């Protein structure tokens, strides 16, 4: 999609929670980025990731000690990572995998505005982080897109096969 069509589609496709369900705070003792109001967990890292479109998105990486794979989760159109946080924790525990979730541009505390093109850059940034920062291999990454998250998920999957 392009131009006017894309901006009109964005008005119907993206509904970021307003206000966001969480705030980012920096722990004064450790310097760690935390998701407020949630208690700090040793196995959870809160990240800010730059995208190729100049945005900065919030991502959460949940480590499971027995994981052999990582789930990259793209949430639906009317939620942010704060609203999904407890679900992500439970998915990691019960499926015994690492999990990365992220907010689209314009969602939660991520900068910018939501758009189709931004979601592609957002998922690319999360995927790149998994490979470069956590050493995840393509064959060990499970892509999952809920609702509007299926768009960037399928785009990334096609690029990976490409």
CATH of the domain at 45: 3.40.50.1820
Establish if 54 belongs to a structural domain: yes
Structure tokens at 119: 């979601």
51: helix, coil or strand?
A: coil
Establish if 1 belongs to a structural domain: no
Establish if 136 belongs to a structural domain: yes
The total of structural domains in the chain comes to 1
Please name the residues in contact with 75: beta carbons below 8 A apart, sequence gap of 6 or more. Answer: 81, 84, 101, 103, 146, 147, 149
CA 150 to chain centre: 13
Residue 52's domain spans which residues? 10-160
| pLDDT for the residue 7 | 64
Distance (Å, whole) CA 58 – CA 108: 8
Establish if 4 belongs to a structural domain: no
pTM: 0.93
Establish if 5 belongs to a structural domain: no
Name the burial class of residue 75, with classes exposed (0-12), middle (13-18) and buried (19+) by CB atoms within 10 angstroms of its CB. buried
Establish if 52 belongs to a structural domain: yes
Establish if 3 belongs to a structural domain: no
| End-to-end Cα separation, the chain, in angstroms | 21
Establish if 59 belongs to a structural domain: yes
Q: Tens-digit pLDDT profile for the chain (162 aa)?
A: 455 556 656 677 899 999 999 999 999 999 999 999 999 999 999 999 999 999 999 999 999 999 999 999 999 999 999 999 999 999 999 999 999 999 999 999 999 999 999 999 999 999 999 999 999 999 999 999 999 999 999 999 999 876
């Amino acid at each position: 999609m392009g131009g006017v069509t894309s901006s009109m589609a964005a008005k119907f496709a993206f509904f970021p929670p307003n206000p966001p369900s969480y705030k980012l705070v920096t722990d004064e003792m450790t310097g760690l980025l935390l998701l407020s109001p949630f208690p700090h967990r040793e196995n959870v890292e809160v990240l800010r990731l730059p995208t190729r479109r100049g945005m900065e998105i919030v991502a959460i990486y949940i480590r499971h000690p027995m994981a052999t794979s990582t789930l990259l989760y793209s949430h639906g159109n009317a939620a942010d990572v704060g609203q999904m946080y407890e679900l992500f924790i439970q998915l990691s525990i019960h499926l015994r995998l690492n999990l990365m979730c992220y907010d689209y541009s314009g969602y939660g505390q991520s900068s910018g505005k939501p758009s189709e093109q931004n979601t592609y850059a957002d998922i690319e940034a999360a995927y790149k982080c998994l490979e470069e920062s956590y050493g995840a291999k393509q064959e060990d990454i499970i892509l999952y897109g809920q609702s509007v998250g299926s768009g960037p998920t399928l785009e990334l999957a096609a690029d990976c096969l490409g």
